[in-house]
């Protein structure tokens, strides 16, 4: 896992002869690359050509001695140069195929497989990769920059136009180190951020876009062109229940086992839920098969001081995770640790600032972001790679909205019914009137609905659940993956997400709801394959979201931070201070999760404004 950045530009005149091979351009690419140092703490490098510059920061995971980037096809006067982030899990098979086609390899890295795959198949290399990745290829022969992002968007990739071309980076902060780009936010950006729709393409930042998942971008003298190379499609499902369970078992088992390769210590996140328990059990079994019966996988969970005593359920959480995680760890046989965080650590301004800086955004989930960041920091003391159960709810239908008559009937994005405006930070009335977020949501919903593929003659109930799953996989999942990537990479930790395997997503997307919920509960198919891998208590446990602290001292501290944030004029230009007063004045035990999240976002807004100092063009 790494950070990538750079640009390609085709300006007329002297640029054609000398291009960016100047001290000024060298300084720019070095500065852009330096912004990503936390993503790649082990090494960094840059490459400069006549019309392109590539930068790379490396977190060494495979082939520690090789795999240095940017990587060229040959040392002198290269035809192709690559800057790559992520992991390609089928690189051994591709390497063998490329060798049979005459390619020779200098390293064991998956990076070189991507490089030589491009030399062999051009843009078509994207169709052959299995994994999580974002990469840039400069092709000197064609005078072309190619940007590619993985199918489900696990790895981020942003870009913006510059004079004569485009710049790119793993994070927006890398773009803002380019002299032609600056952190500017307009009404469109705030609309994208505060609508909580998690679209792909436009971002909070004016002029900055994401390369959408499953897309590639070409930059050359003709301009910038975007092309989709993968998307979810509707296909008939012909397997019965036994065949479906076995296929899901095969796909999950295969994707977990192929994601364990690393030349550095690897561990698993184990919350005590079904999703992470299945992943951890399969990984632990593979580790014992490879290293012997005494081998033990490390596993980690997060908890909060006095959580057992202060826990109260809410719309997203039904119970305390820690006892289930500990039981799952004993059942599987992991070396399990629980990282316990107190209110002081969660309220620490430097921790909260680090989270906002990592996100490049004021939109987060407060203590749940801070705790994840601190958990990753503790894990990084012992491991460089962690497995996560992210995306199982999207793939197997685990969220409440898949089972709610209200969500099925509502003509809006389902998560808005769960969190809705009770958790959205209230905007200043004048700004709210300008943004017209309700109208924006309605238009975005119609657009998202039109993008869902269907089978002819599909039953209306099946059709609706297919729509909710498409929204979940293409929008809701996006913000979870961004959160996990930014906060893990800010600690120099690579997190792998086996449930984001595109073949698993394709198969589950086309599995009828009657099979997905055949036992009358959420995630029936995952529960089927979890039998024998997880203790009975975990198999029967209801869906529980990532934990939030319920400690009253944290709530009181959050209220203090929010009051201080609202003392700032810049914050009051965006947030509605009057609407936030009830949350500021409430007793800690009376503050609902939604009201508390409003305060979290006010605090994060103040930190974002202070650090990024964006130009607000409203």
According to DSSP, residue 60 is labeled -
Known catalytic residue: 2? Answer: yes
CB-CB contact of 291 with 333 (8 Å): no
* Residues belonging to the chain: 618
- 154, 147 Cβ separation under 8 angstroms: no
- Cβ atoms of 341 and 547 closer than 8 Å: no
DSSP label of 202: B
Pick the closest to residue 231 from 197, 200, 198, 196 (CA basis): 200
* Distance between CA atoms of residues 174 and 171, nearest Å: 6
30, 178 contact by CB (below 8 A): no
End-to-end Cα separation, the chain, in angstroms: 37
| Cβ–Cβ < 8 Å for 46, 174 | no
In this structure, what token pair is assigned to residue 238? 């012909």
Helix (H, G, I), strand (E, B) or coil at 269: strand
Q: Are 171 and 486 in contact (CB under 8 A)?
A: yes
Which of 278, 490, 286 lies closest to 396 in space, CA to CA?
278
CA distance 381 to 593: 32
| CB atoms near residue 528 (< 10 Å) | 19
Ranges of beta strands (E only) in 120-270 are 131-139, 144-149, 158-162, 165-169, 184-186, 208-210, 215-220, 223-228, 266-269
Query: Of these residues, 1, 2, 129, 251, which one is catalytic?
Result: 2
| Dihedral Cα 44, 49, 52, 57, nearest 10 deg | 0
Q: Residue 567 has which token pair?
A: 């003392």
HSE at residue 436, side-chain half, CA atoms within 13 A, is 6
520: left (phi over 0), alpha (psi -120 to 50) or beta: left
Give the 3-state secondary structure of residue 112: helix
Catalytic residue annotation: 2
């Amino acid at each position: 896992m790494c950070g990538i950045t750079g640009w390609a530009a085709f300006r007329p005149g002297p640029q054609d002869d000398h291009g960016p091979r100047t001290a000024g351009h060298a300084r720019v690419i070095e500065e852009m690359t330096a912004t990503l140092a936390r993503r790649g703490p082990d090494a960094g490098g840059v490459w400069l050509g006549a019309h392109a510059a590539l930068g790379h920061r490396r977190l060494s995971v495979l082939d520690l001695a090789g795999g240095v980037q940017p990587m060229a096809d040959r040392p002198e006067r290269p035809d192709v140069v690559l800057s790559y982030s992520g992991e390609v899990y089928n690189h051994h098979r591709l390497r063998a195929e490329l060798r049979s086609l005459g390619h020779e390899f200098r390293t064991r890295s998956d990076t070189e497989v991507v490089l030589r795959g491009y030399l062999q198949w051009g843009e078509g290399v994207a169709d052959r990769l299995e994994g999580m990745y974002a990469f840039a290829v400069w092709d000197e022969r064609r005078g072309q920059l190619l940007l590619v992002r993985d199918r489900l968007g696990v790895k981020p990739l942003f870009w913006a136009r510059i004079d004569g071309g485009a710049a790119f980076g793993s994070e927006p902060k890398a773009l803002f180190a380019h002299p032609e780009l600056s952190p500017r936010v307009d009404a469109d950006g705030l609309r994208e951020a505060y609508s909580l729709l998690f679209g792909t393409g436009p971002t909070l930042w004016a002029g900055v876009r994401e390369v959408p998942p499953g897309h590639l971008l070409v930059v050359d003298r003709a301009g910038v062109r975007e092309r989709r190379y993968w998307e979810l499609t509707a296909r008939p499902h012909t397997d019965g229940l036994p065949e479906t369970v076995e296929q899901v078992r095969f796909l999950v088992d295969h994707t977990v086992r192929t994601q364990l390769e690393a030349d550095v210590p690897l561990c698993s996140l184990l919350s005590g839920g079904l999703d992470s328990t299945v992943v951890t059990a399969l990984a632990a079994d593979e580790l014992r098969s490879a290293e012997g019966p005494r081998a033990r996988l490390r596993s980690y969970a997060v908890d909060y001081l006095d959580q057992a005593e202060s826990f109260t359920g809410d719309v997203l959480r039904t119970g305390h995770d820690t006892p289930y995680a500990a039981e799952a760890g004993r059942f599987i046989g992991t070396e399990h640790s629980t990282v316990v965080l107190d209110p002081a650590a969660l309220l620490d301004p430097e921790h909260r600032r680090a989270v906002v800086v990592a996100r490049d955004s004021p939109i987060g989930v407060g203590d749940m972001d801070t705790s994840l960041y601190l958990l990753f920091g503790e894990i990084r003391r012992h491991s460089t790679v962690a497995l996560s159960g992210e995306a199982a709810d999207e793939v197997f239908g685990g969220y409440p909205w898949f089972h709610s008559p209200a969500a099925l009937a509502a003509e809006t994005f389902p998560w808005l019914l769960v969190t809705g405006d009770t958790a959205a930070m209230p905007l200043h009335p004048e700004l709210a009137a300008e943004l017209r977020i309700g109208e924006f949501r309605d238009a975005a919903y119609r657009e998202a609905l039109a993008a869902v593929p269907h089978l002819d003659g599909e039953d209306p109930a099946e059709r609706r659940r297919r729509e909710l799953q498409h929204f979940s996989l293409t929008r809701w999942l996006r913000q979870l993956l961004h959160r996990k990537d930014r906060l893990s990479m800010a600690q120099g930790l690579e997190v792998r997400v086996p449930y984001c395997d595109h073949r698993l997503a394709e198969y589950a997307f086309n599995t009828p709801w009657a099979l997905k919920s055949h036992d009358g509960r959420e995630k029936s198919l995952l529960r089927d394959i979890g039998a024998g891998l997880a203790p009975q208590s975990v198999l029967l446990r209801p869906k529980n979201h990532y934990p939030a602290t319920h400690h009253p001292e944290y709530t009181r501290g959050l209220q203090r931070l929010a009051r201080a944030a609202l003392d700032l004029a810049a914050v009051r230009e965006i947030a509605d201070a009057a609407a936030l007063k009830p949350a500021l004045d409430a007793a800690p035990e009376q503050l609902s999760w939604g009201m508390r999240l409003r305060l979290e976002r006010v605090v994060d807004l103040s930190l974002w404004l202070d650090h990024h100092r964006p130009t607000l063009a409203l």
